[in-house]
Amino acid sequence: MIQPSIEIAERYFSAWNRHDAAAIVATFMENGTYTDPLTPGALSGPPIGAYAQAIWEAFPDLSFDIVSIMENNSGLVSAEWLMKGTNTGSFNGLPPTGVAIALAGADFIRVEGGKIRSVQGYFDSAALPRALGLDVIVQPKAIGPFGFGTSVRVSSGKTATPGAFSITWLEARTAEEQKEVSESSRKIAMELLSIPGFISWVGASVGDRMMTITAWDSTDSMTSLMKDGEHRTAVARFFSPEISRGAATGVWIPGRLNPRWIRCTACSKMIDSEKSVGNCSCGAPLPAPLAYW
């Protein structure tokens, strides 16, 4: 006896709530597909379970509350749901935020012969990152000679004048490599914070090219990078067949760094912070100098 479509759909959601990837996959027919705004296309078979597992790793307490569920005459089940969970695991390569989310959405589930032929999920793909406190930036990849991307800055809080900059660029071959390099760069940036001579770090990705510029007290400050840790591991992977189309690195010593200017909050005059010794010519104390990098 073929079970009603709603019962199959409820079994599907129950597997999600039990965090049972194999049970989710088992509700689909052999060539059944799953699609939502975050998938790279239609998933079929084990990749459906792997996709669910990745979400559970980011939200270990994830659950679906079914708001409404109904079936039309052709066996299409529409289910309105509220997904709840707390982000205590890595999401899209980013560290956990600890933020609890509640995301509304709907699934349209096509059932045939007691199995799911397709699930088409709909939700606001920008709502989830916004709920986690992440920026959602919409921009072109390129316009003429201009390429667009993303960037991140890590600072030790020092306002010292840099004595050296280390610069690295790398071109990834695939989107998967980009994710791997981003994760490695995040680990390296965290390690940099423990190095005494580190000032600040900026990482940027534009298309396939990924770049970092790091400010140091001196050239001697960066020597510990090659001794151990993620940086040494990343260099070894680069010279293996694993990572990138190519890259370049270099150490730059400033030929000239002009003074940092700071505006007096009392008289609004712009003051050379290196010559002011902390006070404006009007007598008011100046804010702390801005970081060079």
- Contact between 202 and 293 (Cβ < 8 Å): yes
Six-digit token string for 243: 């990572």
Q: Per CATH, which fold does 148-252 belong to?
A: Alpha-Beta Plaits (3.30.70)
- Tens of each residue's pLDDT in the chain, 293 residues: 446 899 999 999 999 999 999 999 999 999 999 999 999 899 999 999 999 999 999 999 999 999 999 998 777 999 999 999 999 998 877 778 899 999 999 999 999 989 999 999 999 988 888 888 877 777 888 899 999 998 999 999 998 899 999 999 999 999 888 888 988 998 899 999 999 999 999 999 998 999 999 999 999 998 888 778 898 888 888 888 888 899 999 999 999 989 899 999 999 999 998 888 888 989 999 998 888 88
- The domain spans of the chain are 5-131, 148-252, 258-293
Q: Provide the b/e sequence for 258-280 (b: ≥16 CB within 10 Å).
A: eeeebebeeeeeebebeebeeeb
Residues near 118 by Cβ (< 8 Å), separated by ≥ 6? Answer: 32, 33, 34, 35, 42, 109, 110
Determine whether 133 is exposed, middle or buried from the number of CB atoms within 10 Å of its CB (0-12, 13-18, 19+).
exposed
- Contact between 76 and 108 (Cβ < 8 Å): yes
Nearest to 79 by CA among 16, 3, 2: 16
Q: Which helix (DSSP H) or strand (DSSP E) does residue 129 occupy?
A: helix 127-131
pTM, 2 dp: 0.66
CATH of 5-131 among 3.40.50.2300, 3.40.190.10, 3.40.50.300, 3.10.450.50 = 3.10.450.50
